[in-house]
């Protein structure tokens, strides 16, 4: 079967669920929080992927003060940063990241810098030179701000960027930025990415004749 090929000038990469499988940690921390709030754990898990924690809390408990959500988000980030048990790379991610060395790419994640660095290290993946993390945006995914900031920092038109994402919020953010989106893993399939892959095992990235990137899926 012939692989799908997409051309791009830069790749913008989500972290959790796309490069790093951190589901075990996310499940432990958020189900514990859900139980403390008297919320259904499955419903909470359907909301939290791809968003900053305080925004997930605002969706789940809309009557609560913003200050309380921010305070609990700080506690959640500390808990998640301290817990690395079960973190592994998404299949294919180590080779994929090795192929991107020296090519234009950026990490765009709803995690803060501390959590992002811990999880990438726990998965044995290199931390990109350019990363747009929670502290650097005023609006979290599904807002496109993070992806647009990364494109601007790389000096690449949004239409020439290819996003790799797994969550509904992330896919919506990438599409809203005017970018094409490669959906990674089972969560992505329901949210209409441009194309879909099971993981990163079959993804190959090379330079094309014009100096751009050729991505085979």
Q: Are residues 101 and 73 in the same domain?
A: no
Judge if 75 and 150 occupy the same domain.
Answer: no
What residue numbers bound the domain in which 194 lies? 5-22+87-216
23 flagged as catalytic = no
Q: Of 82, 100, 119, which residue sits at a domain end?
A: 82
Q: For 29-39, what is each residue's pLDDT tens digit?
A: 999 999 999 99
Annotated catalytic, 16?
Answer: yes
Rounded to an integer, what distance in angstroms lies between the CA atom of residue 34 and that of residue 72? 12
**Do 145 and 209 fall into the same domain?**
yes
CATH of the domain at 97: 3.40.50.1000
Q: Are residues 100 and 16 in the same domain?
A: yes
The pLDDT tens digits of the residues spanning 10-48 come to 999 999 999 999 999 999 999 999 999 999 999 999 999
pTM exceeds 0.75, yes or no: yes
pLDDT (tens, 9 = 90+) of the chain, 217 residues, equals: 457 999 999 999 999 999 999 999 999 999 999 999 999 999 999 999 888 899 999 999 999 999 999 999 999 999 999 999 999 999 999 999 999 999 999 999 999 999 999 999 999 999 999 999 999 999 999 999 999 999 999 999 999 999 999 999 999 999 999 999 999 999 898 999 999 999 999 999 999 988 899 999 9
Catalytic, out of 16, 112, 166, 199: 16
Measured CA to CA in angstroms, residue 190 lies from 20, 193, 207, 215 at distances of 20, 8, 31, 22
**Tally of domains within the chain:** 2
Give the pLDDT of residue 120: 98
The active-site residue out of 14, 112, 166, 199 is 14
Q: Which long-range contacts (CB under 8 A, 24 or more apart) does 122-127 make?
A: 122/20, 122/84, 122/87, 123/19, 123/20, 123/21, 123/87, 123/88, 123/89, 123/93, 124/89, 124/94, 125/19, 125/20, 125/89, 125/93, 125/94, 125/97, 126/97, 126/98, 126/101
Residues 6+ apart with CB under 8 A from 99: 204, 205, 206
């Amino acid at each position: 079967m012939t692989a799908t090929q997409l051309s791009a000038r830069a790749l913008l990469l989500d972290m959790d669920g796309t490069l790093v499988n951190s589901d075990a940690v996310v499940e432990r921390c958020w189900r514990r929080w859900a139980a403390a709030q008297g919320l259904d754990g499955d419903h909470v898990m359907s909301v939290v992927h791809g968003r900053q924690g305080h925004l997930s809390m605002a969706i789940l408990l809309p009557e609560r003060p913003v200050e309380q959500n921010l305070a609990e988000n700080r506690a959640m980030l500390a808990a998640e940063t301290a817990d690395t048990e079960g973190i592994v790379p998404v299949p294919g991610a180590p080779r994929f990241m090795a192929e991107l060395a020296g090519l234009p790419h950026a990490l765009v994640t709803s995690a803060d810098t501390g959590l992002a660095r811990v999880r990438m290290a726990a998965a044995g993946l290199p931390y990109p030179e350019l990363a747009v993390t929670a502290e650097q945006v005023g609006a979290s995914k599904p807002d496109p701000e993070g992806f647009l900031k990364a494109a601007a920092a790389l000096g690449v038109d949004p239409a020439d960027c290819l996003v790799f994402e797994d969550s509904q919020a992330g896919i919506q953010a990438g599409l809203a930025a005017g970018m094409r989106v490669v959906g990674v893993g089972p969560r992505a399939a329901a949210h209409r990415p441009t194309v879909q892959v099971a993981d990163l095992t079959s993804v190959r990235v090379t330079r094309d004749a014009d100096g751009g990137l050729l991505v085979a899926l």
